[in-house]
Amino acid sequence: MNMKTDRIAAGFEPDLSVSLAGIRLANPTVLASGILGTTKALLKRVAECGAGAVTIKSISLAPRDGHANPTILAFDAGLINAVGYSNPGVEEACREFSGLSDVAAPVFASVIGTHAGEFVEVIGRMEPLGFAAYELPLSCPHTPGYGTMGGQGTPQATLEITKAARSATKKPVFVKISPNMPAIGEIAAAAREGGADAITAVNSLGPGMLIDVETRTPVLGFGMGGVTGPALRPIALRCVYDVFKAVDLPIIGVGGVSTGRHAMEMVMAGATAVGVGSAVHAFGPEVFGRIVGQMRALCLKLGAERLSDLIGAAHKQQGLP
């Protein structure tokens, strides 16, 4: 059926825009960190494909080579990666990401460090640039010194690093948390106490492992890596659901979303915005525009004039935990 006719029949054009910690997104899709976020040219392309916001690949103070290849592999139910935070360091990042107004959507900076002071320093160097917000991934499962391997995923470390980052900028700060923690709400609460403006839920799951039978060898260069994509989706949804219950902060729901229906599930679990990453493998950067088109069609079907009215809708059902 013709979509235009649909809208006329429905008598309204669904409003997909959302406000995320005061940042207006034309639609809720966000390019997740670590996918295609290496250059401004790629961010521009993803924004032109329809993303509501884009996130750069994480930047540290000094350049990092990351782990040996293979670093990212597709398996039958998702991606597994141990890239190891390769990045050119904050100095080059400041050159690469200057003039961000060329990008047709808000740009979020993912910032990493081995301790609170490093986060502060990287954020300080990036402050003159046009980033709309900072994201702190305190939850990478496969890089020594960082994320969960650096002890950053505990409530105490989350509080400490978030506080430090909060003091370094007036822009919104998002804290990205791990799906591994059974009490994920406690981490979200610590981030909130530290001054976070939003929670990004979730980072990759695991680490997991794949083994080459012929050579009896783990396949990833680092041996193990974070799991994303379809395998992560139901876990990510439950995490978003739990975080929504635990804290009154907006959530960027990330994990295995590749269709408008998946994105709508995230919104109903409590997400204000929806991260998309691994789906680029299956559908290319064009996946953003397709998800947005499908969400619009779903809003029409559901009679929802504003997508934001559906945030957390699944919590209104009685009898659920």
User: Per CB under 8 A, does 215 bind other proteins?
Assistant: yes
The DSSP letter of residue 314 is: G
Q: Which residue, among 303, 239, 292, 288, has the nearest Cα to 264 in the 3D structure?
A: 292
User: Per CB under 8 A, does 75 bind other proteins?
Assistant: yes
| Sign for the pseudo-dihedral over CA of 50, 232, 200, 253 | positive
Answer for which of 172, 206, 230, 250 binds other proteins (CB under 8 A) is: 230
- Taking CB under 8 A as the binding criterion, the range among 40-48, 107-115, 120-128, 179-187 that sits at the site for other proteins is 40-48
Identify which of residues 8 and 74 has a Cβ nearer to other proteins in the complex: 74
Binding mask 77-106 toward other proteins (x if CB under 8 A, else -) reads x-x---x--xxxx--x---x----------
Answer for which of 22, 41, 102, 303 binds other proteins (CB under 8 A) is: 41
Residues 243-262 that bind other proteins (CB under 8 A): 258-259
Answer for which of 16, 180, 278, 299 binds other proteins (CB under 8 A) is: 278
- Taking CB under 8 A as the binding criterion, the range among 8-16, 61-69, 144-152, 303-311 that sits at the site for other proteins is 61-69
How far is residue 13 CA from its own chain's centroid?
A: 27
301 contacts: CB under 8 Å, gap ≥ 6: none
In angstroms, give the least distance from the CB of 60 to other proteins.
10
Q: Which residue, among 265, 228, 238, has the nearest Cα to 183 in the 3D structure?
A: 238
Please identify which of the residues 49, 94, 140, 299 carries the catalytic annotation. 140
Measured torsion, CA atoms of residues 178, 181, 182, 186, in degrees rounded to the nearest 10: -90
Binding mask 108-147 toward other proteins (x if CB under 8 A, else -) reads ----------------------------------------
> Does residue 49 carry a catalytic annotation?
no
DSSP class per residue in 277-313: -THHHHH-TTHHHHHHHHHHHHHHHHT-SBGGGGTTG
User: Per CB under 8 A, does 65 bind other proteins?
Assistant: yes
Q: In whole angstroms, what is the distance from residue 129 CA to residue 120 CA? A: 15
Q: In whole angstroms, what is the distance from residue 272 CA to residue 208 CA? A: 29
Angle, helices 116-126/155-168, rounded to nearest 10 degrees: 30
Identify which of residues 28 and 78 has a Cβ nearer to other proteins in the complex: 78
8 A C-beta contact, residue 236 and residue 253: yes
Identify which of residues 65 and 248 has a Cβ nearer to other proteins in the complex: 65
Q: In whole angstroms, what is the distance from residue 180 CA to residue 236 CA? A: 10
Measured torsion, CA atoms of residues 181, 182, 188, 190, in degrees rounded to the nearest 10: -80
In angstroms, give the least distance from the CB of 43 to other proteins.
9
User: Per CB under 8 A, does 38 bind other proteins?
Assistant: yes
User: Terminus-to-terminus CA distance in the chain, angstroms?
Assistant: 39
Answer for which of 27, 54, 64, 120 binds other proteins (CB under 8 A) is: 64
In angstroms, give the least distance from the CB of 245 to other proteins.
29
User: Per CB under 8 A, does 204 bind other proteins?
Assistant: no
User: Per CB under 8 A, does 66 bind other proteins?
Assistant: yes
Binding site for other proteins (CB under 8 A): 34-39, 41-42, 44-45, 57, 63-66, 68-77, 79, 83, 86-89, 92, 96, 210, 212, 214-215, 217, 219, 221, 229-230, 258-259, 277-278, 280-284, 290, 294
Active-site amino acid positions: 140
